[in-house]
Amino acid sequence: MSHPPDENRRRIGGTATAAACLLLLAGFAALSWSAARTKCPTFDEPLNTVGAWMILHEGDWRVHPDHPALWQYWSALPNGPSALRPEHRIPAWDQMLQNLWVRYLWAAEMLFEQPGVDAERVVERSRFMMLLVAVALGCLMARWAWELAGPIASMVALAFFALDPNFLGHASLVKNDVALAFSALLLMHALWRLGREVTPGRALVAALVFAAGFGVKFSALLFLPLAALILIARAILPVPWIFFGRNLARRGPRLLAGALLLVVFLGAAWGVIWAAYRFRFAPTRDPEVRLDTGYLLDRMRRNHLEIERLAGAGTRPADQAEIAAWRPEPLLRSVLWAERNRILPQAWLYGVVYSCEGLQRREGFLLGEHRLTGWWYYLPMACLFKTPLATLAAGLAAAIAGLLVLRRSWRSWRPGEEWWSVTCLVLPFVVFWTSLMISHVSLGLRHALTVYPYAFIALGVVAAGTRALQSRPGRTILAVVLAGLLIETLAAFPDYIAFFNAVFRPSRIALLGDSNLDWGQDLKPLAAWQRRNHDRLLYLAYFGQADPAYYGITYRKLPTASTGEPGTEMPTRREPAVIAVSATHLQAIYIHDPRLAAFYGDLLRRRPLAVFGGTIYVFDNDAVAAAGGATAGRP
């Protein structure tokens, strides 16, 4: 049986596009994985890896209640019962129920210092599970773009994702930022399909996807207002809605249908959370053991008063009466009520409180300035600095093209499926973007990875719907943009975590810090350098939880908290040594000792001997001392 020529061309074009998408995904996985293998575990990865293993194999949440259980089960899945050998008979084991910092130290010790534990392999296996999630995110983006505007949209959207250095850098890390982006996009795709027609299968999928988000990251609490807004928007849209076979033509029944779906979603979330925590209220196998929520509340009281003092330029410490007068926000009061009444597992509720405490205050760095409560414009600036130039140019062109199309067709445009699709792309972007801008956390662009997939899909849809691309010049422009993106991305390999676009790369240490630049990932190149220069004495100030000695680095530890810190020492003047310092310490983000901050600030003004991955700066102590630097700690 023969097919018409047009149908054959569409079929061949669809096959070619599918092949191109598969090639893009394979390239993405290869680039991300090979880049990650050049990096040691980042600051959070030892805790995330060990904590997830403890949850999967010992059913104990004390090590890592900071993230929900489903994501941790997934990350720990390839690490069997013998992968780690945790030590329970030390004081830190019980101290973890209260002390937040002890968890980091204990996890790093169990990973890097326990005999018979292959830290690299343990982390690598969990990283592979993260990469699978990132590839699934790319597949979902390609599918939704194809459903919205055809194969060209799919290929363009996927190209911007697969060649994005930020996703490449974070896709293979044991962290749940990319997993949250996948969960959010999966939920929006499920809601988009529900908005077209509600069937039992679609409703079940949407409910399970909604519920699963609460097991990925506590930021998924935003899924509740987001789903409510989406369902309200669908009810208001003056288009009939097929609901289990019934045509809901009036707004009232559509609002009632949306409310019913939301109740089902909440019921599913409640059940999934209990199942993920093994239907157990206690965070450990001992039913009498509890995580100390009161300790977190005390921290929040002190944080609140410290922030108020800073806002009023006061320096007097808070007294006990002021601390006792502080009252939790409504969300926290609800969580505490749920804990008292055992509505949800205590470890999950503790994680919510922990997240709220982290949102109160966090040391941030932007354009050389330090703040505890962040900047509302931090996210736009981070996007400007760390988004590839080709993507920025394409986004600007797509916005202009979209506005021109909207202007031409505004009068003749009638509400319909197009409006529903636009709503499902724009509303989550706005909700996530707004929540990040008003938060007090100014840590890294990784928190904004939830918004990028909607922008990439929109780029694909606009590209597919632009008449200019039907001409040879239009296709040439698109090819040039994608080629520019490819060149900028390949040039940054393997330093994708520390990626800044070509305009801002030369001054990146003065622009942003923490996971935007230095997340403790570059011990491996420092170790390779020391093997080539084994006769040089090394002083090291490292920002991270990986063990430098595990990578064969021999060093004397520089202070990173205050001068005179136990177990540390400073180089003497003219001592034949080199000084290696992580960018985070050079920026003095977490250093509150003015004298030590000045020590590293003076180093930052000197020309480094070498820079590894953009994150570890090496200075010649002789040269710095000769220039009159402050590095000489003793005469």
Could you read off the pLDDT of 471-498 as tens digits, one per residue? 677 778 888 899 999 999 999 999 999 9
Integer Cα distance of 13 and 22 in angstroms: 14
Name the domain boundary from 68, 89, 117.
117
> pLDDT value at position 623?
62
70 within domain boundaries: yes
Judged on CB neighbours under 10 Å (0-12, 13-18, 19+), 6 is exposed
The bridge status of strand 537-541 relative to strand 556-557 is parallel
Q: Within 13 Å, how many C-alpha atoms sit on residue 74's CB side? A: 20
330 within domain boundaries: yes
169 within domain boundaries: no
104 within domain boundaries: yes
Which amino acid, 554? T
Strand partners, 610: 618
365 within domain boundaries: yes
Integer Cα distance of 612 and 606 in angstroms: 16
Helix H or strand E encompassing 295: helix 293-311
Expressed as residue numbers, the domain containing 306 is 293-371
92 within domain boundaries: yes
Tokens for 456, please give them. 């990439």
Tokens for 166, please give them. 């930020």
- Whether the CB-CB separation of 101 and 53 falls below 8 Å is answered with no
Tell me the DSSP string of 542-576.
Answer: --SSS-GGGGT---EEPPSSSTT-TT---PBTT-S
Name the domain boundary from 95, 117, 139.
117
Integer Cα distance of 480 and 199 in angstroms: 44
Name the domain boundary from 73, 102, 117.
117
Which segments in the chain show pLDDT lower than 50? 1-3, 5-6, 8, 627, 631-635
Integer Cα distance of 402 and 423 in angstroms: 14
Nearest to 385 by CA among 487, 249, 498, 525: 498
> pLDDT value at position 622?
75
205 within domain boundaries: no
Which amino acid, 497? I
DSSP state of 319: P
> pLDDT value at position 635?
36
Count up the domains in the chain and report the number.
3
CA angle 406, 407, 409 (to 5 degrees): 65
> pLDDT value at position 415?
56
Angle 417-438/452-465 helices, nearest 10 degrees?
150
Integer Cα distance of 130 and 168 in angstroms: 11
Angle 330-340/346-360 helices, nearest 10 degrees?
160
The conformational region for residue 8 under phi > 0 = left, psi -120 to 50 = alpha, else beta, is: alpha
Q: Within 13 Å, how many C-alpha atoms sit on residue 269's CB side? A: 23
CA angle 18, 456, 482 (to 5 degrees): 70
Integer Cα distance of 148 and 154 in angstroms: 9
Alpha helices (H) along 37-81: 45-58, 69-76
Q: Work out the end-to-end distance of the chain between its first and last CA atoms, rounded to an integer number of angstroms.
A: 92
Number of H helices, E strands in the chain: 25, 10
The conformational region for residue 244 under phi > 0 = left, psi -120 to 50 = alpha, else beta, is: left
320 within domain boundaries: yes
